[in-house]
Structure 1
Amino acid sequence: MIMNTKNCSPRSYALAGGLCLAFSTSPLLCAESENNEKNQRATNKSVEENLQSVEKKGSVTIDGKKIDYKVTTSRLVIKKDDGTPRASIFNVAYTREDIDDLNQRPVLFAFNGGPGSSAVWLHLGALGPKIVPTSSDGTKPLAPPIRVRDNPQSILDVADLVFIDPVSTGYSRTENKKENFHGLDQDIKSVGDFIRRWVTENKRWGSPKYLLGESYGGVRAAGLSMELQNRYGMSLNGVVLLSSLMDFRTLRPSIGNDLSYIAYLPAMTAVAHYHGKVKGDRNTLVKNSQKFASGAYATALLKGYALSQLERENIAKQLSAFTGLSASLILQYDLRINSSRFRKELLRDQGIVIGRFDARVAWPVQEKASDTPYYDPSFSVAKGAFSTAMLGYLGGGLGWVDEKPYEIIANVHPWDWGKKMISLIPRLVLR
């Protein structure tokens, strides 16, 4: 565990000791200096004791070929310039065994978003050699016990994989001020420091290097591409953006910002079709929805109060045809239906709310009178399964036992958004 102590250099300790000798009437000063030194030593010792690393061997069959691998579960300590600990970052790394030249073997660093999410979703839900089983269509919870199984769709055959839990998520912790990590730029710097350390300690500077970020992880990946290059001279070979957020205007509607209504509409059309609220060929519907969203709908929103009543009613009818919501409801909300309201309204007549992460998941809701849902049924389906599977895999499969809770989703708010950048695209540096 990392202790939070005052920083005192060796020079200050020597000076304090000299003062104690010179002024024997000030024993408290000497005692304080000695205590600070003891605390600092205890901190460093505690960190080193917790700098665990457990290695296991495994194999998985991908595309009909057996892939032997080593999996290293570790807690890597990132440090301040003076060598004192800043935080410990938990990670699980999979490296293929039959590789002769590491300079030819790509390594991919993967993380989810949030901010506040661990990497469990990418680790056991998509990329790793083990995966959490789901129900036949993925919309129903599984009864425990839930155990991981081999993942034949893992990408370990083509790249080594490092799954990173940012500070405060998973088993990653700090006993320094959390605001030093809970922020856009702070998060980028700490994860960047981890990547540099991992690459150095594992002798992978010559390897092709990639990042993969999901959701807010896209923000992190864009920032890291600049941070790694500018701070450490580490150029990347590629960045994979998965369901990524790059421009906050597409996510958060606000007065004067209608971009999110335009961006969400085609997805709403696909969801409405899945739940039987709009009819026709799905692909054709979505294509027409995209055309309408970027054309007539965008123009109507830009007109604002200059839009005539007849035009408003016409746009509302077309939105109704694409979303399955009534034209009267759409007019009530000034042609602007955000994602939360859509989730609550689509199946309101059945007393059902649809999921945010997976809109196929639909569960009964109790607070029928509210405008927006208070919970996400798709997250409820996933959290228990992934939590149980991850902890079982860590302890039973990887031999990692930790007294702390594994924070699948951590509370990292308030989050410091720094310079209030609404777009991270300028930071996406690839050369």
Structure 2
Amino acid sequence: MKLGFFSPEVPGHLNPMLTLAGELTRRGHETIFVGAIRGEQTVRQAGLPFHPLMPNDPRNEDLEDAFRQLATASGMTAVARTGKIYEIHTQMTVDEVPRVLDQLQFDGLVVDQMSPVAASEADRRGLPYAVVCNALPVHWDAAIPPPPMAWDFRTDWLGRTRNKLFMRMLATLNDLAVWRRGLPDPMLLIREVERGVVRIAQQPAFFEYPHDTQASKLHYTAPWHRADRDDATIDFPWDWLDGRPLIYASMGTLQNNMGYVFDAIVEAARDLPVQVVLTQGGGEVEVSAEIPDNVLFVRRAPQLRLLEKATLAITHAGMNTAMECLAHGVPMLCLPVTNDQPGVAKRVEFHGNGRLVPVRKVTSAKLKQELTRMLQDESFKQKASQFQAQLAQLDGPAMAADLIEQAIESSRKFG
């Protein structure tokens, strides 16, 4: 089959999509990524073809500026700035997607749940598509706290009412924005979970809250990463590691320009009997605190290889990093920033393989307290090792590729 891939052009969504495309390519399918020009380098470095949408449009620079603004934001401010990114991206590409589908003549699509433009056009054409959830699989379920909110999971009337009211408010604000801008609904694939021929999450089933309802087409699998995804060009000083417990610290690749968080991590580690590798994630943040000998501050890091050696991870709780920590049996101290990260972090806390400190409450004293607790309490490592053992029995990319093949081929054959 000839398959088109549509995803937000950010590492947290592109990286797992690239793993899926690689698995489907290995099986003999032709895979082509379609998106804004900012995603081209990442895709081509993975050895896969990329078809750019509007590469010479001046709004590409507006898009880059919006991402730079997002890097310093958190909470609902960051959610609003994410909405601005969607607006620019959609205005730039909505008229181009039909022309590209005419030109490339795909047999089916693989569409991120945050890429509704491609899904809408596929529906109009009767073109089968799989919806994939690279982030949390978000759907309207009153039992599940909304991902942007770091709320406890509660099954009582108050918890469900709280969730319903927030979702209703979010839907109203979203509808007003859609009406004002005249753009496709960014929440289309969240609100209408039966769209597409199948819906697949890289989140394993055991990492969800216990609840009775589930979208009928939703399949949980396992993390979509391979060991060879690490950037082999990163020159890391492996001889710096001296055998002390290693803490790997990363605030991701988007909301990673909050200097006070990096300063707090450095100060928290100063007197602990550990080594810390702290990465900028390719961002521009600088550390104002004096960096002690037991902290290595780098622009980029080989994350998967470091997690193989890590005792703990400090993370923004992006889905990819969380899944990679689960697969490597590494407990997490989560500092969620925005979007689905609070929801991921609360699941880590709920299942016992980590702790959560909201990013707005981060201080060096609080981080030191939490790190000390996690280093001394074996229960976090025990739970993380349990999850690692479960995931070792699963091949997430193969599971997802099987589902995509079966669903799209069946739709093409039987309609």
For Structure 1 versus Structure 2, the TM-score category normalised by the shorter chain is: under 0.3
Q: Which has the higher helix share?
A: 2
TM-score normalised by length of structure 1: 0.27
Bigger Cα Rg: 1
TM-score, length-normalised on structure 2? 0.28
